Amino acid sequence: MRIVLFGPPGVGKGTQAELLADRYHLIKFSMGDMLRQEVAVNSSVGRRAEPFLKAGHLVPDNIIFDMVNNFLIEYQNQDILFDGFPRNLNQARTLEQSLAQLSQKIDIALELYLPDQEIIKRLENRRYCPSCGRIYNCLTDPPKIKGVCDECGKKLIKREDDQESVIRRRLEVYEQETRPLTEYYKELNVYKKIDASVTKEQIFKKISEIINGYTDKK
């Protein structure tokens, strides 16, 4: 089983990816983790990617795909969850071609969906403890005392990338780059839209039903 999980920033994608990987014993493919790991073990792909990462540039697609192909071959007999990858149509098409060479394909593409206004509200209300790194949300997951970390009593701060202008920019990039995956996966008959406005338990239940339905059919 090959599952793609995508969605705009702030919908709780990371949380669902963790829950899914645990429940279904999926090998998680996350681009950021993967790149860091390749650099850490000093692999040939890692050595090619390192200068781009150090300069804060995007790693070129040809390097990304060498890495993806190595991963697909290494884990060809296990179930995989692609977390935040592919990010655009070109990556989605190339991924499908690479899988086809192994007689595989994406079986389910899940999009976590929230209206932009709701995403902005959530991210604007996110607070972060500079001391222990714990993340709170004033609306959905507030600390016991307003503005103060439960763990260490430090004053909570708002991160710069949670400012409204930055959030709007990230949502625009998502709209342009990633949203076209919706149509792409619809055409492949694997697309499922998930309402992310409910609790994380309810989201997970919905996703589990989809996956169980798929495995029952097989």
Catalytic residues: 13, 87, 126, 159, 170
**Residue 81 engages Zn ion in binding (rule: CB under 5 A):** no
Nearest distance in Å: CB 217, Zn ion: 46
The token duo for 118 is 């709701």
Among the listed residues 215, 216, 177, 198, the one whose alpha carbon sits nearest the alpha carbon of residue 15: 198
* Shortest separation between residue 126's beta carbon and Zn ion, angstroms: 14
Q: Which of 72, 123, 129, 194 is in the footprint of Zn ion by CB under 5 A?
A: 129
Peptide bond into 180 cis (omega under 30): no
Is residue 7 marked as binding?
no
Decide: is 110 part of the binding site for Zn ion (CB under 5 A).
Answer: no
Q: Which of 61, 74, 151, 175 binds Zn ion (CB under 5 A)?
A: 151
Q: What is the CA radius of gyration of the chain?
A: 19
> Residue count at the site for Zn ion (CB under 5 A)?
6
Report the nearest approach of Zn ion to the CB of residue 145 (Å): 12
- The Cα 104–Cα 96 span in angstroms is 8
Which residue stretch of 53-61, 81-89, 91-99, 128-136 sits at the interface with Zn ion (rule: CB under 5 A)?
128-136
Residue 2 annotated in ligand binding: no
Cα–Cα dist 118/41, whole Å:
40
Say whether residue 102 binds Zn ion (CB under 5 A): no
136 is in an annotated binding site: yes
Q: How far apart are CA 65 and CA 81, in angstroms?
A: 16
Quote the distance between the C-alpha of residue 55 and its chain's center.
23
DSSP code of residue 14 = H
199 annotated ligand-binding residue: no
Task: Report CA dihedral (24, 27, 32, 34) to the nearest 10 degrees.
Answer: 170
Query: Looking at 62, 131, 163, 202, which residue binds Zn ion (CB under 5 A)?
Result: 131
Give the nearest distance from C-beta 149 to Zn ion in angstroms: 3
Kindly give, in sequence order, each residue whose CB lies less than 8 Å from that of residue 142, ignoring residues fewer than 6 positions away: 136
Interaction with Zn ion in 152-211: which residues (CB under 5 A)? 152
Q: Which stretch binds Zn ion (CB under 5 A): 39-47, 132-140, 161-169, 199-207?
A: 132-140
Using the CB atoms, write b or e for 148-164: b if 16+ within 10 Å. ebeeeeeebeeeeebee
Which parts are annotated binding residues? 10-15, 36, 57-59, 84-87, 91, 126, 129, 132, 135-136, 149, 152, 159, 170, 198
Residues that bind Zn ion (CB under 5 A): 129, 131-132, 149, 151-152
